[in-house]
Chains A and B, each alone.
Chain A
Amino acid sequence: MPSLPASTAAAIARARENAINRGGDADEICPVCKSSRYLNPNMRFLVNPECYHKMCESCVDRLFSQGPSQCPVVGCDKILRKQRFRKQTFEDIQVEKEVDVRKRIAKTLVTPSGSSTCCEGAIADGCAMDSFNKRQEDFPSLKEFNDYLEEVETVTFNLLNSVDINATEAKITAFEQSNKSSILQNAAKAAQEQQFALAQREFEKEHHRRTRELENEIEAEEKREKAEHKANLLKALEAENPDAEVAKVNKLARKKSSMRREHQERRARELEAAKNAPAFQFMANLNRVAEEPPQEKYDPVDGFDETTRYFMYRDRYESPWLDDTRNNKTVLAGGYLLQQYYERAVFEAFSGVGCFIEDPAAEGQDAAAPLNSFDTPMIDTI
């Protein structure tokens, strides 16, 4: 049938056209040699971080095997090398580019564990030595830290969008020069932390394993004991005095199981102690600045107690003006306690009776000028 191949060829041509025109299905067609994935299912695309123009593997082989050469894309005069070609990680080339830039900036500007954006977090694992890696602790206040982060973002943006490339590059170099020592320090710190985290994870894993082992052991032992008990019972029933024998067997089993439980508990305790003891000591000491002074015993009532000097509470007081309230169900239903009113009133009757205020000498001069502490100033008309 002649019509089928013709229509297939037309379809391919159309697909190719569409892909090239729209750029949306560019995934399917190499922009350099125009060969399509339809015909070559194993086609892989590579990019070079120099200009991020995409081309297929065979094109790269063809063009750059002989050494560095110009990018085949029209209008791009970058010289590319074969070894720097790599597989594209992200579909969007813009994202790919940004990740690269951020990776570079992270080496210079950003703290690896600061994790202000997800991109940094993603690439932080890879970089062993980063240099623009200030932390919040390095700045006197949050505002300064934020300013620093914003500057980092500005540099990133400039690199991404080719704004002031030269000035930005100069800035980065200058920063690197001036902060060499602190960059190294921060990198070392980050590495150390990573190491600690790793050790901690290891330790936890080990602990889990041992706990599980213990549990398994306990289970097995229980099972074995049960079986043994059963066998003993059967044997006891066969004996001539079954009742006494059975009682004996039961007693033995109880004793055994209690012993076993004790043993297990001790082991579990040991395990728990091990968890809190050795490997974690260095973690505990890691960020401690200085020995804290022993805390004073906290007194929630600030030294006050319920002793009264001038009076003693009674259960009931003679108060003619409260007689209505005492029997008023609407008031009492709401939870009004006359007793509390009594206590409050009687307390207030004597609270401060022994304080004598008018001692001008004792008051001193400072009492005369508390004006400064007031929020509403005297109006000053000028």
Chain B
Amino acid sequence: MEDQLYTTTTQCQTWSFGPSTLSTLRATTNAAGVRSIKRGWKRARVEASAANTPLATTPIPSTASNTPTPAPDPASIPDPETLTPSEELTLVNYYMLRLMAMSDIFSFPSSVKATACVFLSRFHLHHSVHSYHPKHLLTTILFLATKTENNYLSTAEFCKRIPKLTPEAVLKYEFKVAGGIGWDFEIRHPLRGADGGIMELLTALGSNSADPGLQVLKEKLGQNQSRRVTDAAGRMKGYLTKEALVSDVYYHYTPPQIFLGALWLADKELAEAYIEWRFGENSLMGRPLKKKKKEKKGKEKNVEDEAAAAEASKPPALAPKLIPVVAACAEMMLKAQEYEKISVDVLKRIDKKLHRCQNPQKFLGAGSPIGIGNDAPAKKAAEEAPPPEKKRKTEEDLFGGALR
């Protein structure tokens, strides 16, 4: 039943991918972003060559040189170098770390932080950074996450903590972001599940059940078991609130698997023993050991038979399949640590490239910025706005449109 319930979630249905599917998706998104950049530059070039008639020799306001150099021929400037999918991912991950830092400023609970990160990641899965620079979306996403996670904060309060932030800026792209993540606000995090798992483990260790699996587990843990578990849980939580978010594990694994993966990183031996105990060959699946055989012999034979039948039809043990999955998950999280080590130079280079892509007007002397947050031309909005307005009016007019 637990698995069945998980399969009904949007996280499982729309946001779970195999690795190859995910990379295809990223490549598609990147290609779309590159196309839009190419088109924007093409248009800018046309505008620039139109503006570069001998009469209008207005030099570009360049900060570098004060000498009025004649504007370069727009055709001679090559198209900018666009970002590759991996560069996009690097950038998104960098901003994810920034998002975490921002969340820490507010000292939001980890669920808010995690939700915000997943929102950012999911948004950029379908929307290239070429079109939506993450730096414009951070506050919006964080604010959306506070609302999603029942951690209400007014926009005014929210803006107070970050300099130069206005409520308008926070709310400006909210609709876009919400639509961009497909309105799937609920994220299944492994955080609470991890708490539950540890809770159960501690309880089991504290009891003196005769479960043979548990005895094995106790033996493996050696002395001071609960101390060891608590320590591992602390480290695990660290992995869950950082590496798990920056890596792609949310797309490839289910929350319990992620939590086990984090536990694996925190204490490999413990995780392995735990999985063996819970999902191994003779696991009791957390049920108390049956002692009926001696106590109630003839009385509940029926019940026993049923139990035996259930035993016989029991699906094969999960552990052999689960352990490699958890190990892979752990490895993926470990790899994510490299994102923190990416040098600022690399990031600067990427951002510079992106800046060049998005702002053809600075290099061609004409055209308009590409993507949101760069003050998209008002003209376009004005062009687009009236028709839907008119249409809506006829549809919603109290007395209907004009008679035909």
Contact = CB atoms under 8 A, between A and B. Distances in A.
Given A311-B200, A359-B18, A351 B5 contact: yes
Interface stretch (A26-34, A74-82, A299-307): A299-307
Contacts of B193: 345, 348-351
Interface string B366-404: 001011100010000000000000000000000110011
A229 to B, nearest CB: 59
A310 B253 contact: no
Interface in B299-340: 318, 321-322, 325
Contact of A379 (B14, B132, B285): B132
A38 to B, nearest CB: 49
Interface string A6-41: 000000000000000000000000000000000000
Interface in B1-18: 1-7, 12, 14, 16-18
Contacts of B40: 381-382
A52 to B, nearest CB: 30
B4 A349 contact: no
Interface string B100-142: 0000000000000000000000000011100110000000000
Given A318-B203, A378-B131, A380-B36, A350 B256 contact: yes
Contact of B399 (A150, A320, A348, A358): A150
Nearest to A146: B400
Q: Which of the listed residues B199, B203, B253, B279 has the most CB atoms from chain A within 10 Å of its own CB?
A: B199
Contact of A151 (B6, B14, B176, B403): B403
A166 interface: no
A243 to B, nearest CB: 57
- Per DSSP, are chain B's interface residues mostly helix, strand or loop, or mixed? helix
Interface stretch (A104-112, A171-179, A212-220, A369-377): A369-377
Interface in B181-202: 182-183, 188, 190, 192-200, 202
Contacts of A270: none
A319 B199 contact: yes
B1 A304 contact: yes
Interface string B1-42: 111111100001010111111001100110011001001100
B179 A352 contact: no
Contact of B256 (A314, A319, A351): A351
A312 interface: yes
Q: On chain A, which size bracket covers the interface?
A: 35 or more
Contacts of A196: none
A320 B195 CA distance: 11
A306 B1 contact: yes
Contacts of A312: 285-288
Contacts of A118: none
A342 B199 contact: yes
Is chain A's interface secondary structure helix, strand, loop, or mixed overall?
Answer: loop
Contacts of A371: 28-29, 126
Interface in A326-354: 342, 344-354
B252 interface: yes
A324 interface: no
Nearest to B19: A358
B400 A147 contact: yes
Contact of A314 (B7, B28, B203): B203
A320 B376 CA distance: 53
Given A310-B286, A352-B2, A375-B179, A360 B278 contact: no
B43 interface: yes
Contacts of A146: 399-400
B262 to A, nearest CB: 12
Given A147-B404, A360-B20, A368-B28, A355 B12 contact: yes
B166 interface: no
A363 interface: yes
Nearest to A373: B182
B127 A376 contact: yes
Nearest to B40: A381
B70 interface: no
Contacts of A381: 36, 39-40, 43, 368, 370-371
Contacts of B183: 375
A297 interface: no
A353 B257 contact: yes
B254 A355 contact: yes
B240 to A, nearest CB: 13
Contact of B18 (A304, A309, A363, A376): A363
Contact of A376 (B24, B180, B206): B180
A356 interface: yes
Contacts of A346: 196-197, 199-200
A357 interface: yes
B200 A349 contact: yes
B286 A311 contact: yes
Contact of B254 (A310, A311, A314, A352): A352
B302 to A, nearest CB: 19
A350 B3 CA distance: 8
A274 B128 CA distance: 72
A381 B188 CA distance: 35
Interface of A: 143, 146-147, 150-151, 304-312, 314, 316-321, 342, 344-363, 367-371, 373-376, 378-382
Closest 6 CB pairs of A and B: A345-B196, A375-B179, A352-B6, A360-B18, A352-B254, A348-B193
16 contacts: A143-B400, A147-B404, A309-B3, A310-B279, A349-B193, A349-B196, A350-B197, A353-B3, A354-B3, A360-B19, A367-B21, A373-B182, A374-B179, A375-B183, A381-B36, A381-B39
Given A349-B194, A350-B2, A379-B370, 17 more contacts: A310-B286, A311-B200, A311-B286, A318-B199, A320-B202, A345-B192, A345-B193, A346-B197, A349-B256, A351-B193, A353-B260, A355-B6, A356-B325, A357-B12, A358-B325, A381-B39, A381-B368
